[in-house]
Amino acid sequence: RDNEIQPDEIPLLAHADKLAIVVDGGLIAESGMRAAAVNFARQLISRFKSSTLPVHRMDVALLLTKLDQVLEAGSGAITYWEKQEEMLLTALREVSGEALALRTAARGLSDPEDGMNALMGWIVASPPEPVEDLPLIDVTASARLQRIRAPKTTP
């Protein structure tokens, strides 16, 4: 958000098979936060447009979470999301060629329409054809970062 990091700065991202742009449905449910949630997604998609990452080789999805909260917020929230979802999908398809819209809600014991099965199906589906011309990942910086974050253990 707010262009804090460029996708090109994440080495492992170039090797991803799947890419999900996640929109927080809790923000869509709040009328005062809807535009911000959509702007966060729009900014991220814009960053991918200007990056050198091979997004066109990835399976890409636009994922709305907390659909249950969006529906509980009333018809205005879902109507807003439906319009924005289409615009975000159009922008995402300019980057990737294809993009899928997914919506998930809190998983209920009796609700098969929570979107989780569709999400899991997308996640485990076969990835696009492997590409051999991707550069090797420089893990030096990532390894240093991991050492910084890993808690030290005492004997």
Whether pLDDT at 109 is above 60: no
Q: DSSP 3-state assignment of 101?
A: strand
Tens of pLDDT, residue by residue over 15-72, are 888 889 999 999 999 999 999 999 999 998 998 888 887 777 888 999 999 999 999 9
Let me know: does 61 contact 99? Beta carbons within 8 Å.
yes
Q: Where are the alpha helices (DSSP H) in 97-139?
A: 116-124
The single residue listed with the structure tokens 């994922």 is 63
C-alpha–C-alpha distance, residues 149 and 135, integer Å: 26
C-alpha–C-alpha distance, residues 27 and 36, integer Å: 8
Confidence of residue 9 (pLDDT cuts 50, 70, 90): confident
Percentage of the chain beyond pLDDT 70 is: 75
Whether pLDDT at 134 is above 70: no
Burial of 73 (0-12, 13-18, 19+ CB in 10 A): buried
Give the sign of the dihedral formed by CA 33, CA 50, CA 85, CA 5.
negative
Whether pLDDT at 75 is above 50: yes
pTM of the model: 0.77
Angstrom CA distances, 121 to 34, 37, 100, 115, stand at: 28, 25, 12, 10
The helix (H) or strand (E) run that includes residue 61 is strand 59-64
Which pLDDT score is estimated for 135? 54
Which pLDDT score is estimated for 153? 52
Average of per-residue pLDDT values in the chain: 81
Mean pLDDT, residues 70-99 taken together: 94
- For residue 96, how many other CB atoms are within 10 A of its CB? 19
